[in-house]
């Protein structure tokens, strides 16, 4: 199989019926970077910057952050990379940072963009490191756990201020800056249009979105495995996000774990996703599925299924049968 995946690397990234798809990879540390060439990923769809903070014993200094971001940008070359601002708090605790102290529900607590907007020094340092590292090229920054438009606006103000500051000191700035939001808090679903008018791109964090939609702790397998993301209700929801992106001309990706499972990836393509980001090891298996996939045919079947009256149809079984029928 490894041989097959290596051969697939040089094949065009498209479905059997010629629909181009971007298979991106998730990463977070310098050790992940060689995987870019090995996997044949089209870029890094999610760079989890908090990992540098999690493996350190104190807050990484601005210089260390900048150095890592430079290494990442050098490794990707002309390919895109999306840096997510630190997503700490919740289950991602830093031993050297007290955070909110004891929280009854850490997943719903003081984490991610909530924390960095309350401690803007953290965000400012990170943004400055990113801006400096990306001098002369495109910089893509993404905010985790966004719940309101005002959080996006506040983060943008911090970014704008840093840009002004650095340009006053004649720093080499990025030639283009794109700001994105993760869609992983359900509240965003009812303000998608406004969000899409405010940011340059969005990425669905299906791990957290599914956790919050189904009210099941993603780290507790007793409840987390109880419900299937490959189900009519959740796929209807994801299709709505993909549709909203197409209608507003906003690029949409999905970067949760489901993107890396061939059967789930099939479903995502069939409901309209054209870029998905996954662990590097998943790129080969997903591409092997994709090059054999008659997407138009599956899209028709899925549309009919999701538009129908029954929300209890076994979508997973249907996808498996379709996959077997088409290799």
Interface with ligand PEP (CB under 6 A): 46, 48, 87, 184, 205-208, 255-256
The CA distance from 89 to 97, in Å, is 10
- Is the Cβ of residue 32 or residue 50 nearer to Mg ion in the bound state? 50
Query: In 105-130, which positions are buried (b, 16+ CB within 10 angstroms) versus exposed (e)?
Result: ebbebbbbbbbbbeeeebbbbbbbbb
**Least CB distance from residue 13 to ligand PEP, whole Å?**
21
Q: Look at the alpha carbons of 98, 212, 217, 26 in this order and tell me if their dihedral is positive or negative.
A: negative
DSSP 8-class letter at 14: B
Rounded (10°) angle between helices 149-168 and 120-133: 50
- Is the Cβ of residue 75 or residue 183 nearer to ligand PEP in the bound state? 183
- Is the Cβ of residue 38 or residue 147 nearer to Mg ion in the bound state? 147
User: Contact positions toward Mg ion, by CB under 5 A?
Assistant: 184, 205, 208
Largest interatomic CA distance in the chain: 62
In 175-264, beta strands by DSSP E: 176-183, 201-204, 252-254
The CA distance from 145 to 209, in Å, is 9
**Least CB distance from residue 224 to ligand PEP, whole Å?**
13
**Least CB distance from residue 136 to ligand PEP, whole Å?**
29
- Is the Cβ of residue 162 or residue 208 nearer to Mg ion in the bound state? 208
Q: Which does 256 bind (CB under 5 to 8 A by kind): ligand PEP, Mg ion, none?
A: ligand PEP
- Is the Cβ of residue 28 or residue 174 nearer to ligand PEP in the bound state? 28
Q: Which does 240 bind (CB under 5 to 8 A by kind): ligand PEP, Mg ion, none?
A: none
The CA distance from 12 to 109, in Å, is 43
Contact 23/42 with Cβ under 8 angstroms?
yes
Q: Which does 48 bind (CB under 5 to 8 A by kind): ligand PEP, Mg ion, none?
A: ligand PEP
**Least CB distance from residue 232 to ligand PEP, whole Å?**
20
- The dihedrals phi and psi of 228, each to the nearest 5 degrees, come to -110, 125
Q: Which does 60 bind (CB under 5 to 8 A by kind): ligand PEP, Mg ion, none?
A: none
- Is the Cβ of residue 205 or residue 284 nearer to Mg ion in the bound state? 205
**Least CB distance from residue 122 to Mg ion, whole Å?**
18
**Least CB distance from residue 113 to Mg ion, whole Å?**
11
């Amino acid at each position: 199989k490894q041989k097959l995946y290596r051969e697939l690397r040089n094949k065009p990234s498209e479905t059997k019926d010629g629909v181009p798809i971007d298979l991106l990879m998730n990463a977070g540390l310098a050790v992940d970077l060689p995987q870019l060439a090995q996997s044949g990923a089209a870029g890094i769809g999610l760079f989890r910057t908090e990992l540098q903070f999690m493996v350190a014993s104190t807050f990484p200094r601005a210089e260390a952050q900048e150095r890592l971001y430079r290494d990442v940008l050098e490794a990707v070359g002309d390919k895109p990379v999306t840096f997510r601002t630190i997503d700490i708090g919740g289950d991602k605790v830093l031993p050297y940072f007290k955070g909110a102290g004891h929280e009854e529900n850490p997943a719903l607590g003081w984490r991610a963009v909530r924390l960095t907007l309350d401690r803007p020094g953290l965000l400012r340092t990170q943004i400055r490191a990113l801006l400096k590292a990306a001098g002369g090229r495109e910089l893509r920054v993404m905010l985790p756990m966004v719940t309101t438009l005002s959080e996006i606006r506040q983060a943008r103000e911090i970014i704008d201020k840093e840009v002004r500051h650095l340009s006053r000191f004649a720093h080499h700035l990025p030639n283009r800056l794109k700001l994105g939001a993760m869609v992983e808090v359900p509240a965003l679903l009812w303000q998608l249009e406004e969000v899409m008018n405010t940011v340059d791109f969005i990425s669905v964090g299906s791990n957290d979105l599914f956790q919050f939609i189904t009210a099941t702790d993603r780290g507790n397998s007793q409840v987390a495995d109880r419900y299937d993301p490959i189900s009519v209700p959740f796929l209807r929801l994801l299709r709505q996000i993909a549709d909203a992106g197409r209608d507003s001309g906003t690029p949409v990706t999905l970067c949760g774990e489901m993107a890396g499972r061939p059967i789930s990836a099939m479903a995502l393509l069939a409901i309209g996703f054209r870029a998905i980001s996954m662990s590097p090891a998943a790129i080969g298996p997903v591409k092997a599925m994709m090059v054999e996939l008659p997407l138009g045919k599956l899209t028709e079947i899925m549309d009919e299924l999701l538009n129908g009256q029954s929300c209890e149809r076994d979508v997973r079984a249907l996808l498996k049968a379709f996959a077997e029928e088409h290799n």
